[in-house]
Amino acid sequence: MPNMDLLTANDKQGRYPNSYYAKNANHILELPSLFSDIEVDVCVVGAGFTGLSAALHLAQSGYSVAIIEAQRIGFGASGRNGGQVSGGQRMDQEGLESMLGDEHARALWDISQQSVDLVRELSADMNDCGVVDGIIHTAHRERYVSEEHAYTDHLCDKYGYGKIRNLSREETRDLVNSPAYYGGTLDMGAGHIDPLRYAFGLARKCVDLGVMIYEQSKVIDVQSGDPALVKTEGGLVHAKFVVLACNGYLGRLNHRVAARVMPINNFIIATEPMSESAQEALIKNNHAVADSKFVVNYFRFSLDRRLLFGGSESYGYKFPGDITATVRKPMLQIYPQLKDTRIDYAWGGTLGITMNRMPHFERMEGNILSASGYSGHGVAMATMGGKMAADAIRGQAEQFDFMASVPTPRFPGGMMLRSPMLVLAMLWYSMRDRL
Ligand SMILES: Cc1cc2nc3c(=O)[nH]c(=O)nc-3n(C[C@H](O)[C@H](O)[C@H](O)COP(=O)(O)OP(=O)(O)OC[C@H]3O[C@@H](n4cnc5c(N)ncnc54)[C@H](O)[C@@H]3O)c2cc1C
């Protein structure tokens, strides 16, 4: 791994990216940086959904908590993502059943459903954001339709999940006006949210409960012990517990986690605002869409009716020079009718993936917990991951320890070689998308 800092490789210190979200959400007050020694019950490193949710749930139980964030609240994947709030894990239930057996697969399904409920509950009183119901999964190959439909039946029969239904080709076309899809499913238990507003909403709740949030305070070392010591460039935190919530931006801060959670980049563009009828002519009923490609295309409308279209990935440290051109290409394959539509925003973000796409939870030295590697499926699961870490510290460790028992193998090649090997594997799969 080159000596490049992911926290600044594509971004300026202290500045949000040129995203639709950052330009349209009000940050809470400027928060201080850490320039002193402090003592707390729990130090949370990273102010994304994992860290904010961990801090919030701990503060609700009376713990003193400090969040130490290298950049700004929601600066990472949490403030840049597609906003899709979906149940299930990134690995599907059939995969989990064969990997872990029915009982564990069921427990993972239940946790995923709790994660969606948790986002709904936490965002319910945030007046500028909330979950909009419905994700349509579309099949980009005819042969995938029967697979998707059989999976719906499986969820219904085995898990009693009745919020999803199959869509014929005509029904899919009626909801998503694209020639690219052959059928799909509509999951009304899932939905979408403005992710940065949600992160700010969580941060406001934290501040109201007395959580100290320090921005622009990069943690440079975490030493285990009692207390554990969390060192920034300007200060020191003595903490009984530490929650590492750095996900794709972790870098070299913890080698055990870094061996299993690898950063990759994903990109989104936002069109100019459209009329209500233009919106309905592309996606009906304000649902979100995710397709069956290996490099998933995912899209939905913003509050001010821009199409937010996510697609394409990169596996090096640097983002492509022209993100607009990179993402406009898959957008026009799905919606050729948008060829004259202006693109107003383009941005990228870094997320953490694992070898088998299951999140990586780990407890180190007893009092250092880490939750990350949601593999592009973290709006709900990271919120839940933070809560599970908080529960473990509050003395109810069952769920956290269960998640930690799910195997997440190390990437072959170690930190130096994993990127080139992953690039080869990913290129092969994304080439299959095109064939
Ligand atoms: C473009 C994109 C689209 C996505 N779309 C979806 C989607 O539609 N649905 C979905 O479920 N998931 C999606 N994801 C994934 C989802 O956003 C993540 O899984 C989730 O936000 C992870 O939250 P987190 O808090 O663990 O990590 P992050 O939000 O990345 O937060 C980590 C934080 O740690 C901080 N940090 C790192 N190192 C240090 C340090 N040394 N000191 C202090 N702070 C540090 C970072 O600055 C950052 O703020 C997407 C991700 C991307 C990038």
- Measured over the CA atoms of residue 15, residue 19, residue 23 and residue 29, the dihedral's sign is negative
pLDDT at position 151? 97
SS3 percent helix, strand, coil of the chain, rounded to 5, is 40, 25, 40
Ligand 1 mutation pick, 187, 192, 249, max ligand atoms within 8 A of CB: 249
Q: What is the pTM of this model?
A: 0.96
Q: Where are the alpha helices (DSSP H) in 296-377?
A: 323-334
Q: Which two tokens stand for residue 169?
A: 């080709």
pLDDT at position 130? 86
pLDDT at position 431? 56
Strands 307-314 and 298-301: antiparallel
Q: Which amino acid is at 257?
A: V
* CA-to-CA dists, residue 58 to 52, 73, 229, 365, 389, angstroms: 10, 18, 19, 20, 9
Cα(350) to centroid(ligand 1), Å: 7
pLDDT at position 315? 85
pLDDT at position 195? 97
- Cis, bond preceding 227 (omega within 30 deg of 0): yes
pLDDT at position 175? 98
* CA-to-CA dists, residue 131 to 108, 188, 195, 233, 264, angstroms: 22, 11, 10, 38, 26
pLDDT at position 1? 45
Cα(381) to centroid(ligand 1), Å: 11
Residues 6+ apart with CB under 8 A from 234: 33, 34, 35, 217
Contact 86, 248 (CB under 8 A): no
Q: Which atom number of ligand 1 is nearest to the Cα of residue 245?
A: 26
Q: Which two tokens stand for residue 224?
A: 């285990």
Q: Which two tokens stand for residue 184?
A: 């799909």
Q: Which residues lie with the beta carbon below 6 Å from any ligand 1 atom?
A: 7, 45-51, 68-71, 75-78, 80-84, 218-219, 245-250, 253, 266, 268, 298, 310, 349-351, 372, 374, 376-379, 382
Cα(154) to centroid(ligand 1), Å: 31
Say how far apart CA 236 and CA 230 lie, in whole Å: 6
- Torsion angle (degrees, nearest 10) of CA 50, 52, 55, 59: -140
pLDDT at position 29? 67
* CA-to-CA dists, residue 42 to 301, 381, 394, angstroms: 38, 21, 11
One digit per residue, pLDDT tens: the chain, 435 residues? 445 788 999 999 999 999 999 999 877 667 999 999 999 999 999 999 999 999 999 999 999 999 999 999 999 999 999 999 999 999 999 999 999 999 999 999 999 999 999 999 999 999 778 899 999 999 999 999 999 999 999 999 999 999 999 999 999 999 999 999 999 999 999 999 999 999 999 999 999 999 999 999 999 999 999 999 999 999 999 999 999 999 999 999 999 999 999 999 999 999 999 999 999 999 999 999 999 998 999 999 999 999 999 998 888 888 999 999 999 999 999 999 999 999 999 999 999 999 999 999 999 988 999 999 999 999 999 999 999 999 999 999 999 999 999 999 998 876 655 666 566 666 655 555 555
- At residue 333, the 3 state secondary structure works out as helix
Contact 200, 215 (CB under 8 A): no
Q: Which two tokens stand for residue 305?
A: 């009716």
Length of the chain equals 435
pLDDT at position 3? 57
Read off φ and ψ for residue 257, nearest 5 degrees.
-70, -45
Say how far apart CA 393 and CA 370 lie, in whole Å: 12
Q: Which amino acid is at 166?
A: N
| DSSP at 176 | B
Cα(248) to centroid(ligand 1), Å: 6
Cα(251) to centroid(ligand 1), Å: 13
Say how far apart CA 319 and CA 323 lie, in whole Å: 8
Say how far apart CA 296 and CA 198 lie, in whole Å: 23
Q: Which residues of 37-69 are buried (b: 16+ CB within 10 A; e: fewer)?
A: ebebbbbbbbbbbbbbbbbbbbbeeebbbbbbb
Say how far apart CA 419 and CA 349 lie, in whole Å: 17
- Measured over the CA atoms of residue 157, residue 161, residue 162 and residue 163, the dihedral's sign is negative
| DSSP at 46 | -
Q: Which amino acid is at 148?
A: E
